Amino acid sequence: MRRSSRPRCAPRRSLSPVSVTASQEQSVLDQVPRQLYIGGEWVDGREGTLAVEDPATGEALVQIADASVEDAKRALDAAVEAGPSWANRPPRERGEILRRAFETIVARADMLALLMTLEMGKPIAESKAEITYGAEFLRWFSEQAVRIDGRYSVAPNGQGRLLTMKQPVGPCLLITPWNFPLAMGTRKVGPAIAAGCTMVVKPAQQTPLSMLMLARILEESGLPPGVLNLITASSASRITGPLISDPRLRKLSFTGSTEVGRKLMEQASEQLLRLSMELGGNAPFIVFDDADIDAAVEGALIAKMRNIGEACTAANRFHVAAPVAQQFAEKLAERMGSMKVGRGTEDGVEVGPLIDATQRSKVASLVDDAVSKGARALVGGHARDGAGYFYDPTVLADVPEDATLLKEEIFGPVAPVRAFADEDEAVAAANDTEFGLVAYVYTRDIQRALRVVEGLETGMVGLNQGMVSNPAAPFGGIKQSGFGREGGYEGIEEYLETKYVAVNLS
């Protein structure tokens, strides 16, 4: 197996005006491992290398390892080998490793935030928020590691006892998307480590650098070789297919699109793998006429513009009571129109580039479709010329029912607004989608709030707030947004099996 010592970096051009200097960027990139992490060693990929791009410039940032099928199998070998001793490691020690990693991430938040902005594009302040959010999963699950318990009870007929214990599922494959490069990883890795599972992690090829740093930090925090193995590749299916069909793998946890999730479920049926599926969304944001409209606009900005609209939880459709729809749309347009668009490293930038040209074209065609069917752009409606994949924050009013963007996940800074006549119409419109991840509701009427919350077909609801994500809460969806929960008390259950022992006392 080939091994290299220090990673190489291509010189990067300086961009002006910048708040972060080119040498600061280079220094951050120099700290990132570029190889595969297998069995506690950093090794080259047998397929060579692949480039990671800066979406604000379209330029390559670094080259990282491209894994072969053989590399992937070696990663699973390492996870399988480390499995028994890791499962037997005292929970307190597993928790302490997570706790040390949490503290290291917090201490290195500035470096990690800049790295995330370079690979993903979001403004530095948002990257910092994700670093904090992502690190919190490690703290939360460091605390949960010592709370794995079972039950002992008397059988109903009094004869015998029922003993129930929890055990780690075993080797897991964890596949993550590009939109939250760290947090989508820590909310799988944290509970898997806490539960005593070993794993192979496959981050998105567009944003692998934050996860490579996480692997390095866990290594420095004392995670034993083979517990976490990380592989990066230019073809996801090439390396994940053979792992999913390997009978030694016990679980697949996937965050990404519904389309890919479906394919993976099909593959996973061969070995009947335990599955967690965190898939796409199409979140409705409902504003009733009794709501505090200014608060609803502020909540809408968070629900829509966090992560440049590239979040599974992003508000995809705004359903607003007819008497206040125009006022809401105009206020939202004013706020979104004043947001500064640019490279995430620049001072004051609130909206970075989209991840790539394909994503930007998809956003543009959804907007064009809505406008061609009668929607009015109150602000935005255009891609930006020049380098990078920028799209202007856009508010669309009078969006017709047949506009495609009401049905599909936009994944960009576009807010379509539609008016509704009454509560029943609002709930029916909100539920008129195959997705069911999250919904947002703004109203000051507590009875209406609870009625509507109960009627919404989603795994999560933001009630008078534009963000639901919280490491202590169960994150996840229903319908075609998937199943399984990440975070909260439920998060660790995804990595535990229940064993029941029938005890004969006679």
* 124 touches ligand NAP (CB under 6 A): no
Q: Terminus-to-terminus CA distance in the chain, angstroms?
A: 58
* 240 touches ligand NAP (CB under 6 A): yes
Site for ligand NAP in 77-116 (CB under 6 A): none
Question: What is the dihedral sign for C-alpha 336, 337, 338, 339?
Answer: positive
Site for ligand NAP in 408-437 (CB under 6 A): 409, 437
In the residue annotation, 172 being an active-site residue is answered as no
Whether residue 17 has a cis bond before it, omega within 30° of 0: yes
Q: Are 71 and 231 in contact (CB under 8 A)?
A: yes
Packing angle of the helix pair 183-195, 91-107 (nearest 10 deg): 160
If the CB atoms of residues 264 and 329 are measured against ligand NAP, the closer one turns out to be 264
* 491 touches ligand NAP (CB under 6 A): no
> Which of 281, 352, 466, 491 touches ligand NAP by CB under 6 A?
281
Query: Residues with Cβ < 8 Å from 90, sequence gap 6 or more?
Result: none
Parallel, antiparallel or unpaired: strands 60-65 and 49-53: antiparallel
Binding part of the chain for ligand NAP, among 11-19, 23-31, 278-286, 445-453 by CB under 6 A, reads 278-286
Q: How far apart are CA 201 and CA 212, in angstroms?
A: 10
Q: How far apart are CA 174 and CA 70, in angstroms?
A: 18
* 279 touches ligand NAP (CB under 6 A): yes
> Which of 43, 120, 195, 236 touches ligand NAP by CB under 6 A?
236
If the CB atoms of residues 238 and 376 are measured against ligand NAP, the closer one turns out to be 238
> Which of 134, 170, 280, 344 touches ligand NAP by CB under 6 A?
280
> Which of 35, 57, 127, 179 touches ligand NAP by CB under 6 A?
179
State the minimum distance, in angstroms, from the CB of residue 178 to ligand NAP: 5
Question: Rounded to 5 degrees, what are φ and ψ at 277?
Answer: -125, 110
State the minimum distance, in angstroms, from the CB of residue 429 to ligand NAP: 20
Which phi-psi region, left, alpha or beta, contains residue 52 (left: φ > 0; alpha: ψ -120 to 50)?
beta
User: Of 456, 412, 354, nearest to 468 (Cα)?
Assistant: 456
Question: What is the dihedral sign for C-alpha 314, 319, 323, 329?
Answer: positive
State the minimum distance, in angstroms, from the CB of residue 311 to ligand NAP: 7
> Which of 184, 192, 199, 218 touches ligand NAP by CB under 6 A?
184
Q: Are 460 and 476 in contact (CB under 8 A)?
A: yes
Which pair of structure tokens corresponds to residue 334? 């004013």
State the minimum distance, in angstroms, from the CB of residue 267 to ligand NAP: 8
* 462 touches ligand NAP (CB under 6 A): no
In the residue annotation, 9 being an active-site residue is answered as no
Q: Are 498 and 166 in contact (CB under 8 A)?
A: yes
State the minimum distance, in angstroms, from the CB of residue 257 to ligand NAP: 3
Q: Count residues near ligand NAP (CB under 6 A).
A: 29
Q: How far apart are CA 353 and CA 404, in angstroms?
A: 23
* 278 touches ligand NAP (CB under 6 A): yes
* 237 touches ligand NAP (CB under 6 A): yes
Q: Which residues bind ligand NAP (CB under 6 A)?
A: 175-180, 184, 202, 204-206, 236-237, 240, 255-257, 260, 263-264, 278-281, 312, 409, 437, 477, 481
Catalytic site positions: 278, 312
